[in-house]
Chain A
Amino acid sequence: MPHENKMELVCPAGSLPALKVAVDNGADCVYMGFRDNTNARNFAGLNFDIATAREGVRYAHSHGAKVLLALNTYPQSSGSEKWLTAIDNAHHLGIDAVILADPGLMQYACDTYPDLRLHLSVQGSATNYEAINFYHQQFGIQRAVLPRVLALKQVEQLMQNTPVEIELFGFGGLCVMVEGRCSLSSYVTGESPNTCGVCSPAKSVQWKQTAAGLESHLNGVLIDRYADSENAGYPTLCKGRFNVAGATYYAIEEPTSLNTLELLPDLMRMGIAAIKIEGRQRSPAYVAKVTRVWREAIGACRRNPDKFNIKPAWMTDLGKLSEGQQSTLGAYNRPWK
């Protein structure tokens, strides 16, 4: 069987209903987190406790899908107990792989549960094959999720030099792409994804409808102001408009989503092991729609990669779900590289 036929569709699940619709709409794998700061989507009411995780694993497995667990934050000086317990629970629950960023946790996992499959999280920020191979040799990492900083050619070169499977982001909210190294939000809120599992903690966010437009404030700092006709984005510092040298604009990044549908034939040819859909913070309706589109697209591409055509309906559906209602190929598209 050619390698490309194995490409897995990895979909987000912030709740049990989201997990079920992902599986029902054709996800090969779903990824989820526990209800605490052991994962980078630590929002009130989101994620899984042990009982719902157990039901999620049962549902996915009974439908032939795998469950991955994101344990992708870094234990803090207050103690790593919570993270180690999460690894124990993952093993007991029959999770198919844990997605880790911290080398200490990788050591614990591979020492304690040699049969537990390990994936290197995007938060691990490994962008070259030497780093990925190091994690492979030291801890037996079997798959790495690449940060969204590499051009497609660079991804290809990296893949030629590692035995580790490569998972790429295919769709979803885009960050400033210093994944695993970003502490931007902590300048305003004291919290960052690596430490607390959130960019913009909800308790620090305030939305205000004013005469000048809809304002987003993060811990009292004005992040953006949207005119009535403008689409809105998430209230993160990186996606704010700032006054730089007299001009006010998106100085770091515009609110936008990544959409790599048009790269699908290339990704298959390269032997990408899995396509990841971002969005554990989104509702089941999002998960269902994105999963359906990508399942259909992967199926079409697999059947006939040379004549793969993007259906306009796919782009319309994905466009509506995108942050700021716009999308980009991000760093993948750098033809000059």
Chain B
Amino acid sequence: MQPFTLPKPLGTLFSILPQFPHSFVFSQALNLSLGETLRSEVLQPLHGKLICLRITDAQITLQFTLNKHGLIANHERKIPDLTISAKTYDFIQLALRKEDPDTLFFSRRLLMEGDTELGLLLKNTLDALELPPLDWRMYLPARLLDAVKAKILHH
């Protein structure tokens, strides 16, 4: 994948949309794709913490908390415990485990604000998960719809 920055007009468009739906879709998508992993006991120290991801070029803010059932979108108007900011491309590189956060941080492509210990715990906990590398095709709308359908049918 070649490095990219989303075009500015697109970011402006995203920024005027309500932010909660993004957080909701993001949380649900991860809950569906990661399932058991997100309910893992090792993530317990992160429970109840307000975590904010700012996708700078898209001007999208995802805000959520984690509990034993998974991620929950949360747009409370309070200062998040942890805010991580980066461009879309860099978030994807992190999710694919192609870049390490320190590298992005040294080159100023990733900014972390708030509770540093929480940030480190989040990073180390995610690093320690034995995941197959994330496959971005999982997040294509068609695949997500299939997953949602399967879940509905299952219930």
Q: Which of B6-14, B65-73, B110-118, B134-142 contacts A (4 or more CB under 8 A)?
A: B110-118
Instruction: Evaluate whether A226 and B108 lie within 8 angstroms (CB atoms) in the complex, with A44-B121, A207-B116, A283-B100 already known.
Output: yes
Pick the interface stretch among A92-100, A144-152, A293-301, A321-329.
Answer: A321-329
- 18 example contacts (A-B, Cβ-Cβ < 8 A) are as follows A18-B127, A44-B45, A44-B124, A45-B124, A45-B127, A45-B128, A46-B124, A202-B119, A207-B112, A231-B107, A232-B105, A233-B106, A255-B106, A283-B97, A283-B100, A283-B102, A285-B98, A321-B100
In the complex, B17 has a CB within 8 A of chain A: no
Given A283-B97, A286-B103, A325-B107, A208–B120 Cβ distance below 8 Å?
A: no
Chain B, residues 84-115, CB within 8 Å of chain A (1/0): the string is: 00000000000001111111011110011100
- B120 and A45 form a contact (CB under 8 A): yes
CB distance from A224 to the nearest CB of B (A): 13
Q: Specify which chain A residues have a CB less than 8 angstroms from the CB of B123 in the assembled complex.
A: 45, 283
Indicate if A15 sits at the interface (CB-CB under 8 A). yes
Interface check A270, CB cutoff 8 A: no
A17→B116 contact, CB < 8 A: no
Number of A-B contacts defined by CB within 8 Å: 96
Q: What range describes how many residues of B lie at the interface?
A: 20 to 34
Contacts of A320 in B (CB 8 A): 103, 107
Q: Are B127 and A284 in contact (CB under 8 A)?
A: yes
Q: Interface on chain B toward A: helix, strand, loop, or mixed SS?
A: helix
Measured in the bound complex, the distance between the Cα atoms of B105 and A255 in whole Å is 13
Residues of A within 8 A of B (CB): 14-18, 43-46, 52, 201-203, 205-209, 214, 226, 228, 230-233, 255, 281-286, 320-325
Q: Which residues of B contact A282 (CB under 8 A)?
A: 100, 102
| In the complex, residue of chain B having the shortest beta-carbon distance to the beta carbon of A255 | B106
Interface residue B5 (Cβ < 8 Å from any Cβ of A)? no
The answer to whether B117 touches A17 (Cβ under 8 A) is no
How many whole Å from B46's CB to the nearest CB in chain A?
A: 9
Task: Decide yes or no whether B129 CB sits under 8 A from chain A.
Answer: yes
A-side contacts of B131, CB under 8 Å: 17
A207 touches B102 (CB 8 A): no
Selected contact of A285 from candidates B99, B106, B108, B120, CB within 8 Å = B99
CB-based contact A325/B106 at 8 Å:
yes
